[in-house]
């Protein structure tokens, strides 16, 4: 009920604000960061904005808490305001103080009842528009934005903790304005066990003395979802003078070798879109429970170890997280409805880096794979969620609104523009977008205006506003889209047809010199099910069950489920318990959940795997394994 009231109130505010944002378009080159309010935050950025954050926290690896204080430096737009509203989720608030320029005084506050998606608004009463407020607090062990791993769950056999703030989980470990429309700088002091290293999305020092007391500074303004912390037994291996990997000792050498092309990637991106603006670019290799492939925390991307396969074939993930240093971290969506501005642009930039570093053939193969994935996604996506410029996500969890539409349709839109305007023009345009909007948050309306003025009107006759609007506002893929093609995949498809027809034995396929992408294509283009004899033949010749390559595993195991090839189950179970990356394991759980027997098997595996999963992953698996609702009764 309370949620509905909020939603109704927001809807009113939104309709009231919308015309202003659309009609009062400023002249070209003036950055318009105004947008409708972010419904996924209780904060009131039109009244007050956090400018700087000072964290002083102790990471207790046994109690599984971060405890201490967050000091917020505030800039008030409304000097008459007497309330500061912050986002929190499951935080234990110890007290609030305000600084009036001379002394700190205790302030009254109220913590609202929790909303399942948004958490609790922390409402602080102020005697005046104070410049600083300090909150003493502690997190809970189940904080949605943190995962605490026991020693058995890591390769170093030491405790490990890491954050995942995107989209709206920063509020579960820091009380703040948890909206990408607000940017701030930060300093932090983190204390933890001596011998463990603490790292943040800040100026990590490869030579820091491991005394359990670490200080950080992030002098560039970032949105809250890029606030990040990790504590564990990690060591540093340099790749270049400004880049390197942090990883548990047993993983560090393999990681540095796998990601040896990182400096090359930075240089390619810089040549296209301007200087890398964040100082160092390091990567932290997390334990296998990390629920994502990568997270673009500034200066320190968080990376799954599952892409370390020995042949660099999955390093487009690094290109992706690095690309966010321009698309996303420099120019951010001001609320989650416009996440395609982050992820679609990044997928485009990622593919340009891959093309430059590894060649056109790999870039083409990756595009064909992702466009096929998008086609699958669209089959199960309601039309309203197939548009790039989504309506405000009031009452929705932004994590659920995330899909291939933002990533791949978004990328495809930029590829369409590139094809119409030519690389030279389009590259200059994109660079101009990043440069003029650096360190701001923006939205689809602003991008559409910028595109119209800076590209369409300056180069008339190449693409119409109607075509652009179709990409942004209509469901599906516009007819103006040119699908990606790959000649290498033509050969894979041919070989596959021959194998399926029984003309070529599986053993011969091994001699084709295929890499990861070809095998992915081979498995994805299979008929829905093959015979047990065929599965047995493939497995004997190609050893798919137990493969160390998770992109292959992710496609092979669901095929074995559909085909009734239960021999793969022990290896499948091992995969599901060893890895917590959502994208890799959800297709398998999803396939198992389709039959009652499969669901029971999946539930048993989940029970064993769950202690090692991140809360985000556990929530997804729980949802997937829910018994289907009974069929509606026919009248
Ligand atoms: N920023 C995303 C991860 C993310 C998005 C986390 C939204 C929470 C909410 C990251 O850059 C990303 O896209 N990761 C992908 C890898 C990429 C190569 C597509 C992933 O984790 O799979
Ligand atoms: Zn991304």
CATH number of the domain encompassing residue 619: 1.25.40.320
Ligand 1 atom nearest residue 321's Cα? 11
- pLDDT beyond 90 at 388: yes
pLDDT digits (tens, 9 = 90+) for 302-334: 999 999 999 999 999 999 999 999 999 999 999
Ligand 1 atom nearest residue 328's Cα? 1
pLDDT digits (tens, 9 = 90+) for 430-470: 999 999 999 999 999 999 999 999 999 999 999 999 999 99
132 Cα–ligand 1 center, Å: 34
Q: Which ligand sits closest to the CA of 319?
A: 1
Strand-strand pairing, 120-125 and 146-149 = unpaired
Per-residue H/E/C for 179-195: CCCCEEEEEEEEECCCC
- pLDDT beyond 70 at 32: no
Question: Collapsing DSSP states into helix, strand and coil, what is residue 60?
Answer: strand
Of residues 50 and 21, more confidently modeled: 50
pLDDT digits (tens, 9 = 90+) for 556-606: 999 999 999 999 999 999 999 999 999 999 999 999 999 999 999 999 999
- pLDDT beyond 70 at 17: no
Query: 297: closest CA among 271, 324, 259?
Result: 324
Indicate if ligand 1 lies below 6 Å from the C-beta of 145.
Answer: no
Distance CA 128, CA 81 (A): 7
Indicate if ligand 1 lies below 6 Å from the C-beta of 580.
Answer: no
| Dihedral sign (CA 513, 516, 517, 518) | positive
Indicate if ligand 1 lies below 6 Å from the C-beta of 293.
Answer: yes
| Residue 16 located in a structural domain | no
166 Cα–ligand 2 center, Å: 10
Final residue before a domain boundary, out of 202, 224, 246: 224
Final residue before a domain boundary, out of 181, 205, 224: 224
Q: How many domains does the chain contain in total?
A: 2
142 Cα–ligand 1 center, Å: 22
Domain coverage including residue 61: 41-149+156-224
Indicate if ligand 1 lies below 6 Å from the C-beta of 614.
Answer: no
Cis peptide before 12 (omega within 30 of 0): no
Rounded average pLDDT over 625-629: 86
pLDDT at residue 33, as a whole number? 57
Ligand 1 atom nearest residue 398's Cα? 9
| Residue 190 located in a structural domain | yes
Indicate if ligand 1 lies below 6 Å from the C-beta of 291.
Answer: no
pLDDT digits (tens, 9 = 90+) for 100-139: 999 999 999 999 999 999 999 999 999 999 999 999 999 9
Distance CA 350, CA 410 (A): 13
Residue to mutate, 226, 283, 292, ligand 1, most ligand atoms under 8 Å from C-beta: 292
Final residue before a domain boundary, out of 224, 244, 265: 224
- pLDDT bucket at 402, cuts 50 / 70 / 90: confident
- pLDDT bucket at 534, cuts 50 / 70 / 90: very high
| Residue 23 located in a structural domain | no
Indicate if ligand 1 lies below 6 Å from the C-beta of 167.
Answer: yes
pLDDT at residue 56, as a whole number? 99
pLDDT at residue 333, as a whole number? 97
Ligand 1 atom nearest residue 316's Cα? 18
| Residue 477 located in a structural domain | no
Indicate if ligand 1 lies below 6 Å from the C-beta of 336.
Answer: no
Residue to mutate, 307, 328, 343, ligand 1, most ligand atoms under 8 Å from C-beta: 343
| Residue 204 located in a structural domain | yes
| Residue 317 located in a structural domain | no
| Those residues with Cβ within 8 angstroms of residue 140's Cβ, 6 or more apart along the chain or in another chain | 65, 90, 91, 92
pLDDT digits (tens, 9 = 90+) for 158-193: 999 999 999 999 999 999 999 999 999 999 999 999
Atom 21 of ligand 1, nearest CA residue: 293
Rounded average pLDDT over 518-542: 98
399 Cα–ligand 1 center, Å: 10
Burial of 583 (0-12, 13-18, 19+ CB in 10 A): middle
- pLDDT bucket at 340, cuts 50 / 70 / 90: very high
Indicate if ligand 1 lies below 6 Å from the C-beta of 244.
Answer: no
Backbone angles phi, psi at 398, to 5 degrees: -60, -25
Mark 592-613 as b/e (b = at least 16 C-beta within 10 Å). bbeeeebbebbbebbeebeebb
- pLDDT beyond 60 at 18: no
Ligand 1 atom nearest residue 350's Cα? 18
Helix axes 262-273, 316-323, angle to 10 degrees: 40
Separation in Å, CA 38 to CA 182, 297, 396, 551: 10, 21, 12, 35
Roughly how many angstroms between the first and final C-alpha of the chain, as a whole number?
32
CATH number at residue 219: 2.60.40.1730
Rounded average pLDDT over 280-291: 98
Q: Which ligand sits closest to the CA of 342?
A: 2
Q: Which ligand sits closest to the CA of 225?
A: 1
pLDDT at residue 35, as a whole number? 83
> Contact 597/579 with Cβ under 8 angstroms?
no
| Residue 369 located in a structural domain | no
Question: Collapsing DSSP states into helix, strand and coil, what is residue 220?
Answer: strand
- pLDDT bucket at 627, cuts 50 / 70 / 90: confident
Helix axes 532-542, 550-563, angle to 10 degrees: 160
- pLDDT bucket at 547, cuts 50 / 70 / 90: very high
> Contact 323/269 with Cβ under 8 angstroms?
yes
Please identify every residue annotated as catalytic.
Answer: 321, 407
Q: Tell me the percentage of the chain whose pLDDT exceeds 70.
A: 94
- pLDDT beyond 50 at 8: no
Q: Which ligand sits closest to the CA of 302?
A: 1
339 Cα–ligand 2 center, Å: 9
Distance CA 337, CA 316 (A): 25
pLDDT at residue 631, as a whole number? 59
Mean pLDDT of the chain: 94
């Amino acid at each position: 009920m309370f949620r509905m009231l909020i939603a109704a109130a927001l809807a009113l505010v939104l309709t009231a604000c919308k015309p202003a944002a659309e009609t009062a378009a400023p002249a070209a080159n003036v950055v318009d960061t105004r947008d409708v309010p972010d419904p996924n935050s209780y904060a009131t950025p039109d009244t007050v904005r956090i400018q700087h954050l000072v964290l002083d926290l102790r990471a207790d690896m046994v109690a599984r808490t971060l405890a201490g204080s967050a000091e917020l430096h505030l800039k008030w737009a409304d000097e008459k305001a007497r309330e500061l509203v912050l986002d929190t989720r499951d935080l234990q608030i110890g007290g609030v103080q305000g600084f009036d320029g001379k002394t700190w005084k205790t302030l009254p506050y109220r913590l609202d009842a929790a909303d399942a998606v948004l958490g609790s608004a922390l409402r602080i009463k102020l005697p005046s528009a104070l410049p600083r407020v300090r909150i003493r607090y502690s997190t809970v062990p189940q904080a949605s934005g943190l995962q605490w791993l026991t020693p058995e769950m890591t390769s170093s056999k030491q405790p490990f903790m890491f954050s995942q703030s995107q989209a709206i989980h920063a509020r579960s470990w820091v009380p703040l304005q948890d909206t990408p429309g607000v940017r701030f700088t930060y300093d932090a002091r983190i204390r933890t066990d001596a011998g463990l290293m603490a790292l943040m999305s800040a100026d990590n020092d490869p030579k820091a003395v491991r005394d359990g007391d670490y200080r950080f500074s992030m002098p560039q303004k970032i949105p809250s979802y890029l606030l990040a912390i990790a504590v564990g037994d990690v060591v540093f291996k340099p790749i270049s003078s400004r880049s390197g990997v942090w990883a548990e000792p047993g993983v560090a050498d393999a990681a540095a070798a796998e990601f040896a092309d990182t400096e090359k990637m930075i240089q390619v991106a810089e040549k296209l879109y301007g200087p890398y603006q964040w100082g160092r670019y390091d990567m932290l290799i997390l334990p296998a429970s990390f629920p994502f492939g990568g997270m673009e925390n500034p200066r320190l991307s968080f990376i799954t170890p599952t892409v370390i396969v020995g042949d660099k074939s999955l390093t487009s993930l690094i290109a992706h997280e690095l690309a966010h240093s321009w698309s996303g971290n420099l120019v951010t969506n001001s609320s989650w409805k416009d996440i395609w501005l982050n992820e679609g642009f990044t997928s485009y930039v990622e593919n340009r880096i891959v093309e430059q570093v590894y060649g056109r053939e790999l870039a083409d193969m990756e595009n064909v794979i992702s466009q096929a994935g998008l086609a699958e996604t669209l089959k199960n996506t309601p039309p309203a969620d197939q548009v790039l410029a989504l309506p405000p996500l009031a009452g929705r969890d932004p994590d659920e609104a995330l899909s291939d539409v933002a990533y791949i349709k978004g990328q495809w839109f930029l590829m369409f523009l590139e094809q119409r305007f030519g690389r030279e023009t389009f590259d200059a345009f994109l660079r101009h977008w990043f440069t003029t909007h650096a360190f701001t948050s923006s939205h689809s309306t602003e991008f559409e205006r910028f595109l119209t003025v800076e590209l369409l009107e300056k180069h008339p006759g190449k693409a119409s506003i109607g075509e652009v609007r179709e990409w942004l506002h209509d469901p599906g893929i516009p007819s103006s889209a040119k699908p990606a093609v790959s000649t290498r995949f033509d050969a894979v498809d041919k070989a596959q047809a021959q194998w399926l027809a029984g003309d070529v034995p599986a053993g011969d396929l091994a001699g084709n010199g295929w890499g990861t992408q070809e095998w992915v294509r081979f498995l994805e283009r299979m008929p829905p099910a093959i015979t047990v004899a065929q599965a047995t033949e493939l497995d004997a010749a190609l050893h798919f069950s137990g493969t160390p390559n998770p992109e292959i595993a992710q496609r092979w195991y669901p095929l074995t489920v559909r085909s009734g090839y239960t021999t793969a189950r022990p290896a499948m179970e091992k995969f599901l318990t060893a890895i917590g990356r959502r994208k890799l394991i959800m297709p398998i759980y999803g396939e198992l959940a389709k039959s009652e027997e499969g669901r029971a098997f999946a539930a048993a595996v989940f029970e064993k795997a769950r202690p090692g999963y991140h809360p985000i992953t556990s929530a997804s698996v729980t949802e997937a394994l829910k018994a289907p609702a009974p069929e509606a009764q026919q009248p």
